[in-house]
Amino acid sequence: MRNSVQKNRLLCSVFSLILCTHVSFFFKFAISGDTITLNQFISDGQSLISSNRDFELGFFSPGNSQNRYLGIWYKKISTGTVVWVANRDHPITNKNSTLKISEGNLVLSNQTQSINWVSNSSKPVQSNQNLVAQLLDSGNFVLKYQNNDNPDEYLWQSFDFPTDTLLPGMKLGWNLKTGLNRVICSWKSAEDPSQGDFKYGIDNQGYPQLVMWKRNQYQYRSGSWNGLRFTGTPQLNENPVFGYTFVYKPKEAYYYTTWARNNSVVTELVVNNTGIVRRLTWNDRNKDWVLYTSLPLDICDTFNLCGAHGSCNMDNSPVCQCLEGFVPKAPGNWNSMDWSNGCERRSTLRCGEGEGFKRYAGVKLPDTREALVSLTMGSRECEDMCLKNCSCSAYASANAVDGTGCLLWFGDLLDVRKLIDKGQDLYVKMPASELGQTQNDERKYGSEEDPEEVELPLYDFTTISAATNNFSLDNKLGEGGFGPVYKGKLLEGKEIAVKRLLSNTAQALSEFKSEVKLIAKLQHRNLVKLLGCCIEGEERMLVYEYMPNKSLDFFIFDESRNSQLDWQKRKQIIDGIARGILYLHQDSRLRIIHRDLKASNVLLDNEMDPKISDFGLARSFGGDEIEANTSTVVGTYGYMSPEYTMDGLFSVKSDVFSFGVLLLEIVTGRKNRGFYYQNRLLNLLGHVWRLWNESNLLELVDESIVNSCNLSEVLRCMHVGLLCVQQSAEDRPSMSSVVLMLGGETINLRAPRHPGYFIELENSNQTDSSSSNQEYRTATDMTMTISESR
């Protein structure tokens, strides 16, 4: 009996030990809620449920399939609609798989430990012990450090690897920094979630646009973003179901949707195995999905249905027609409703006089894979740039909200569609024979007066003297090579700036006449406006609009004031100066070389927008003249190009060099002349070039803008600056190219060649306007002497 009791006690002890061990094992690996840790896993039959109970993650078999997949589906919706699949191309054939955290990744493996899927986290793991995987309320499954809810610091997230469904909060498109491209791809069938034939996402070639591919071929194109919607989706409107936007940054290009304002409507975007993109909403009363909208809409949404230079219109029969001024390439095929060969011009463009543009209102803009974009250029600048580029075939505004930005097409125009409403204006270049006389006149003169008829207002001396308080020292703004500049106020209250010529030398009078003659004919928002002049007795004065924020050098070279110009303002100033120079070189009725671009000749208005001033040394070119030679080199040392300094040769590329110097000064906050580094042999251009070769340009960025700047924009600007200051004028870009490079992040920049900088042999404390003889050595050890006149 005693032995029996002892035996029973022993059995109870063993049973208790087994039970305790089993319970301990259970609690160690049990799944609770929405999270698993390093010491946990989920097996087939277990699941994670988001805290709001909207989404569930676990194993499933689609339809009648016996294969098993790890996926995410709606928890509250009775249909169990799957929104994400981990191992879509690697099915599991049994129910013996587990998901766990291992070596910084999520790993899905079977009973033989063969891996079916791994998350492949792109970020380095600091500590495996702190890792957790969590199913968020948004439906996003993330791998992260415990208690870290910063999306930018997730080690991995399912939202970066969508399957066929785009949920609110997901990005569709590119992270250009990492090369990650988020696309949604159809299932092969309702029972096979592996990748099907159709993909929907952002094509980042040229100017980004939303596209449907079938086996890597364009099937449908929603078009480029115009600030309101994609140009081929007029039905994309503000609505109570979901919000949307498109983000285009230097390192990102993606489409993004958000939940409805009250989060009460369940919505998703799905691409199915027939190539239809559907926006669906859940009808809780009927317990079913309801179609909100779908793409493509009709036959005209078929990519390039009408061929090159054709236009599709559902209100026409047949739907395809050639754009005006174009005829079918293959008329026989065209009559048989085969439009694939497209259209060709009736009259050839010859890049000559009289060419202009035909406006097509309310269209889906052409395919932008080969297009160039500038988001800062105005419509008139865009038009002129296209007109003067023989390869340009059409242009349009990039932003339909305010008509800003510039899209330029080169070659064939593909996939144009006439829209009933909410389309955009497209301007197609036409030869003179296809344009009426009225259009030619409008193209030639626009809304401005004929420059030959412009009359400059004259002010009498008494008016100017009263406005400046008899040229009081208290009203003096500064002193230039031309003479003193005074602030004044006319009787009606208008503030003015008066440049008074004090010298009657031949050069001074020549500069005065040059400035009057040239700037009176110029009208641009980035050029200072000449209001009139005073010619009375010995007096020679120019009256300008008053710039309340003085000149650019007043800020960027002063440690106490440079912080007032953050990076956004500096980029705005750089872009404005570039557009102003482009106008002088290319878009004004006279081709003008400024010859004295520098920080002190850039004035700032009340919004800190730049205005180029001081045209006393400017020269106009006529006809086919592209460069000139002078025996008298005048200008400001540090900004003058090598060919001008040494040989007296000047051209538009001389101004490009000066702009490059000015751009680098704006970014670094340092003067080119007077900046020396360590051994004091390198000026600013030399030092920038050295740091370029060391891949360390950020060392020179002005400390006052480090916290406010977009580093990729800063580096791009410095790159453009180095291209502008290259030793050879032929290597430097034109100002039209500079404007595009500054505004179009998708434009690749070539590597710069050796800059045309000078190395000073002796330390000098001379200012920009000093009159002294100094010896300098170029990078090729050529010596010369230059006499500065300004």
Q: Does residue 570 sit within a domain?
A: yes
pLDDT score of 682 more than 80? no
Predicted pLDDT of residue 173: 95
Q: Of the candidates 545, 577, 607, which is a domain's last residue?
A: 545
Q: Does residue 6 sit within a domain?
A: no
Do residues 382 and 372 make contact, with C-beta atoms less than 8 angstroms apart? no
Which residues contact residue 450 at a Cβ distance below 8 angstroms, ignoring those fewer than 6 apart? none
Q: 80 with 68, same domain?
A: yes
Lowest mean pLDDT among 38-42, 481-485, 732-736: 481-485
* Distance between CA atoms of residues 586 and 655, nearest Å: 13
pLDDT band at 457, cuts 50/70/90? confident
pLDDT score of 322 more than 60? yes
pLDDT score of 44 more than 90? yes
Predicted pLDDT of residue 52: 92
Predicted pLDDT of residue 413: 97
- Of the CA atoms within 13 Å of residue 721, those in its CB half-sphere come to 30
Residues 532-540, mean pLDDT to the nearest whole number: 82
Percent of the chain having pLDDT more than 90? Answer: 46
Q: Does residue 5 sit within a domain?
A: no
* Tokens (6 digits) for 670: 């340092």
Rounded-to-5 percentages of helix, strand, coil across the chain: 25, 30, 45
CA distances from 418 to 383, 397, 550, 748 (A): 22, 17, 50, 33
* Distance between CA atoms of residues 671 and 682, nearest Å: 12
Do residues 624 and 688 make contact, with C-beta atoms less than 8 angstroms apart? no
Higher pLDDT, 85 or 618: 85
Predicted pLDDT of residue 234: 81
Q: 292 with 350, same domain?
A: no
Residues 10-25, mean pLDDT to the nearest whole number: 37
Lowest mean pLDDT among 266-275, 519-528, 655-664, 725-734: 519-528
| Count of structural domains within the chain | 5
pLDDT band at 761, cuts 50/70/90? very low
Lowest mean pLDDT among 336-345, 720-729, 759-768: 759-768
* Distance between CA atoms of residues 181 and 176, nearest Å: 8
CATH, residue 183: 2.90.10
Q: Which of 11-20, 408-417, 426-435 is modeled with the greatest confidence?
A: 408-417
Q: Of the candidates 142, 161, 180, which is a domain's last residue?
A: 161
* Tokens (6 digits) for 691: 């740091």
Q: 375 with 443, same domain?
A: yes
| pLDDT tens-digit series, residues 50-65 | 999 999 999 999 999 9
Burial class (CB in 10 A: 0-12, 13-18, 19+), 285: exposed
Pairing of strands 326-328, 392-396: unpaired
Q: How high is the mean pLDDT of the chain? A: 82
Q: 136 with 175, same domain?
A: no
* Distance between CA atoms of residues 591 and 625, nearest Å: 9
Q: Which of 1-10, 512-521, 569-578 is modeled with the greatest confidence?
A: 569-578
**DSSP calls for 6-60:** HHHHHHHHHHHHHHHHHHHHHHHH--BTTEEETT-EEEBTBEEE-TTSSEEEEEE
Predicted pLDDT of residue 12: 42
Give the angle subtended at the CA of 160 by the CAs of 155 and 162, to the nearest 5°.
Answer: 140
Lowest mean pLDDT among 370-374, 643-647, 750-754: 643-647
Predicted pLDDT of residue 777: 29
Lowest mean pLDDT among 8-22, 277-291, 505-519: 8-22
* Distance between CA atoms of residues 426 and 394, nearest Å: 7
Predicted pLDDT of residue 712: 87
Q: 522 with 433, same domain?
A: no
| pLDDT tens-digit series, residues 114-157 | 899 999 887 777 767 789 999 999 999 999 998 888 888 899 99
Neighbours of 443 (CB within 10 A): 18
pLDDT score of 749 more than 90? no
Q: Of the candidates 267, 297, 327, which is a domain's last residue?
A: 297
Do residues 289 and 273 make contact, with C-beta atoms less than 8 angstroms apart? no
Q: Which amino acid is at 124?
A: P
Q: 309 with 429, same domain?
A: yes
Q: Which amino acid is at 472?
A: S
* Tokens (6 digits) for 140: 């996003």
Q: Does residue 435 sit within a domain?
A: yes
Residues 701-720, mean pLDDT to the nearest whole number: 90
Q: 604 with 733, same domain?
A: yes
**Domain limits for position 371:** 301-447
Q: What is the largest CA-CA distance in the chain?
A: 140
Predicted pLDDT of residue 681: 55
Predicted pLDDT of residue 514: 67
What's the pTM value of the predicted model, to 2 decimals?
0.56
* Distance between CA atoms of residues 344 and 412, nearest Å: 9
Query: What are the φ/ψ torsions at residue 465 (nearest 5 degrees)?
Result: -60, -45
Annotation marks residue 596 as catalytic: yes
Q: 270 with 346, same domain?
A: no
Q: 90 with 128, same domain?
A: yes
Lowest mean pLDDT among 50-54, 218-222, 531-535, 615-619: 615-619
Q: Does residue 13 sit within a domain?
A: no
Q: 282 with 376, same domain?
A: no
Q: Does residue 10 sit within a domain?
A: no
Predicted pLDDT of residue 458: 82
* Distance between CA atoms of residues 527 and 545, nearest Å: 10
Q: 24 with 146, same domain?
A: yes
CATH, residue 508: 3.30.200.20
Residues 276-305, mean pLDDT to the nearest whole number: 90
Q: 315 with 426, same domain?
A: yes
* Nearest CA among 142, 130, 146, 120 for reference residue 72: 142
Residues 53-80, mean pLDDT to the nearest whole number: 92
Q: Does residue 37 sit within a domain?
A: yes
pLDDT score of 80 more than 90? no
| pLDDT tens-digit series, residues 545-586 | 999 998 999 999 988 898 999 999 999 999 999 999 998 988
Catalytic choice (164, 384, 596, 614): 596
Which residues contact residue 215 at a Cβ distance below 8 angstroms, ignoring those fewer than 6 apart? 197
Neighbours of 381 (CB within 10 A): 20
Residues 417-445, mean pLDDT to the nearest whole number: 70
Lowest mean pLDDT among 399-403, 602-606, 771-775: 771-775
Q: Does residue 12 sit within a domain?
A: no
| pLDDT tens-digit series, residues 635-673 | 787 899 988 888 888 899 999 999 999 999 999 999 987
**Cis amide linkage into residue 752, ω under 30° from 0:** no
* Distance between CA atoms of residues 494 and 508, nearest Å: 28
3-state secondary structure 107-174: EEECCCCCEEEECCCCCCCCCHHHEEEEECCCCCEEEEECCCCCHHHCCEEHHHCCCCEECCCCEEEE
